[in-house]
Structure 1
Amino acid sequence: MSDSKSQPMDPAVVDKLLDGLSNDDDFRALFTKDPRAALEKVGHKVGSTDQLLCAQVTTLAPKEEIAEARKALHAYLTDRNAAAMTIIFNFEAGKVESSLPKA
């Protein structure tokens, strides 16, 4: 079981996640419908008690918004101090940049 509060995401997994969210309509649909399955599909093991499972994206950010914030998202999701349980909220339309800590 993963400890979503202390374990950063693997950089290779983050690359797959961001590639899917910024390029792949089928992956984006899966992420919106079932974030757990989407995260597992890119190689992120989600524990049964991870709090992100109760989160849903109301409106997924457009591919362009995710692509523009890719560098910041990658840094955040691989940061050992980032709370992985907020991953889902980082992809809400119109809120990608504002969901990330300021440098």
Structure 2
Amino acid sequence: MAQDRIPPAGLHPQLVKKLLDNLEDNDDFRTLFQQSPEQALRSLGYSDPWDCLQLKAGQTLASPEQIRSQRQKLEDALHTVQQFDCTLSAQAGV
């Protein structure tokens, strides 16, 4: 029944900024995000993390440089309704 789920709304712009700032410059946060995206988002004050920010098995988090170079694309993607694929993985073309 996963296909019957309604995709979540996008993240608030302030949260997107905090998330991307930390993924670019905070190695401890990057490690936490890779281990538990839910805990990482909660540490930024978000109380309802969604499945689409989970990295799939075998995926790796995009490098800080990749995130920095694709910042606007990521912000746009995270502000809008999401698919259930992670936009922050290296395999997502970030």
TM range (shorter): 0.7 to 0.9
Taking structure 1 as the reference length, what is the TM-score of the superposition?
Answer: 0.71
Moved over 6 A (4+): none
Q: Does 1:93 align with 2:94?
A: no
Q: Is the 8 A contact 1:66 1:96 kept in 2?
A: no
Separation (CA, whole Å) in 2 of partners of 1:84 and 1:37: 21
Q: CA deviation at 1:70?
A: 0.6
Separation (CA, whole Å) in 1 of partners of 2:93 and 2:23: 12
- Consecutive unaligned residues of structure 2, counting only runs of 5 or more, are 1-5
Q: Superposed, which structure 2 residues align to 1:2-41 within 5 Å?
A: 5-41=7-43
Q: CA deviation at 1:5?
A: 2.1
Separation (CA, whole Å) in 1 of partners of 2:52 and 2:89: 14
Q: Give the length in aligned residue pairs.
A: 88
Question: Could you say what the CA RMSD is over the residues aligned between the two structures, in angstroms?
Answer: 2.4
- Consecutive unaligned residues of structure 1, counting only runs of 5 or more, are 98-103
Taking structure 2 as the reference length, what is the TM-score of the superposition?
Answer: 0.77
Percent identity of equivalent pairs:
31
